[in-house]
Amino acid sequence: MASSPTKYASTIAELKALSGIIQASLHTIETVLQDQKIDFPSPHTPFTLESEAARMIPQVAIAFSSIVSASMQLVYSVQSPMTTMLSVPFQYVMSACLGLAALSNASEACREAGAQGAHIDDIAHSSGTDPSKLARALRVLATNHIFVEVSPDVFANNRLSSCLDTGKSISEIMSNPQHKHVGTFGVAAGVGHCADEGMKAMAYLQDALLDPMLGFSEEPNGTAFNMAFNTKLPMFEWFEQKGNEGRLLRFAITMEAAKRTRKYQAILEGFDWEGLPMNSIVVDVGGGIGSESLTLAKHHPHLQFVVQDREQVVNQAKSYWSEAFPDALASGRITLEAHDFFAQQPAREVGVFILRNILHDWSDKYCLNILKNLRSIATPHTRLIIIDSLMNYACIDPKLVSIPGAQRNTPPEPLLPNGGCASALKYFVDIQMLSLFNGKERTTRQFQELMRAAGWRLSEIHETGIGSASTQKAIGVPM
């Protein structure tokens, strides 16, 4: 049966609307960059933080998101449904090839060869890989605009593949491969983690969710990860087992790299730190080595800080603070405290609790435990700051949470209300949290319900930055 003219016309109108969004966004980018006399980075130049200045401009970042969302929506609209539905399941091939490229030091080999590129024999030699097999993997990536095949079996870096480059020489990496990612930006470490523990766990996701026991588990050792690696240990404990030292180090560097994707010093925004009374205590719960507390301590000398984490991490934190801010340690402004956040908090009058990227690692059952322990020593003046991704539905939510900051600007139609593919990364992370920990990213409403059950009231939300550089702070007060 032939399609109706009306339906055909509305489809074409939608495609034109998507094209119009792209054109308008490009005009915005061009105008803003001309006004500020900033060049847009070429896809053929190496990645540096400094060259990303254009993407840090708010109007440009919004325009970029619109272009990504509209472009991908156009692809899915015009491409054959059968082609799409056969291509999407093959995305694991990209993950595998990208992981192989990182492990085989391909980007470093290309950088050492220069603009003319490196022959696959030379690239493969640096890692003892079969050249013909590695070439096929790099060709998959080059076909998707990661690396460039400049001539048959000769590959060179472009902007995307240069993100894998640790900046180290091949000889340095080969002499100490376990420390390959130490002192680097961390993108290659993140790729390695996702293509190893992440992808292997994801392969068992359907088995885990359809299992009558694991499918309903809230336990951190009842996950797809546990099936994939045949262990009864939660992932964090598994990392600490003998033989996993390299994976643990790579994961720690990955977490530091993730922080760098957010707006610089975003912790300073969205809360009145200056308004806290003199000597107020800020407790950074599960704060790692305390990099966020360090930023706060340098900008707000009237505050005191307690950074809590596992004993092994606290030992690392001592070295970090001794080098970065020794006066804070010597004066007692900073206390580094070994503490399990599932245990009762030490008795003290706390001005602010910070939970940064903690709750998404845990199911509701465990989050309630964490939040109740904080609530048990909170005073009426204590504030709780939860820094996590806030998820949006892929449709209009008719029951928006009516608290300050909860409303979000929706993209122009026909883009999806949550930004579509431009915001896909945090939805990928959500499923990775599920497969690795039984954790999850949460919507505003889910945070509100979780906090209420633990004796906290969600009072306001603040967002700083745009897109992947954005940070959401949920502010809680005792009920």
Give the residue numbers annotated as catalytic, written as ranges: 360
CA dihedral 65, 192, 314, 295 (to 10 degrees): -30
DSSP character at residue 399: S
- What is the radius of gyration, based on Cα positions, of the chain? 24
Residue 468 burial (CB < 10 Å; 0-12/13-18/19+)? Answer: middle
Numbers of helices and strands, H then E, in the chain: 21, 12
Instruction: Check: CB of residue 409 under 8 Å from CB of residue 460.
Output: no
Instruction: Check: CB of residue 207 under 8 Å from CB of residue 196.
Output: no
Beta-strand relationship, 281-285 and 352-356 = parallel
Distance CA 116, CA 110 (A): 9
Instruction: Check: CB of residue 192 under 8 Å from CB of residue 199.
Output: no
Strand-pairing partners, residue 458, are 476
Burial state string for 251-264 with b = 16 or more CB within 10 A and e = fewer than 16: bbbbebbebeebbe
Strand-pairing partners, residue 285, are 355
**Which structure tokens are listed for 478?**
């005792």
Say how many CA atoms lie within 13 Å of 201 toward its Cβ: 24
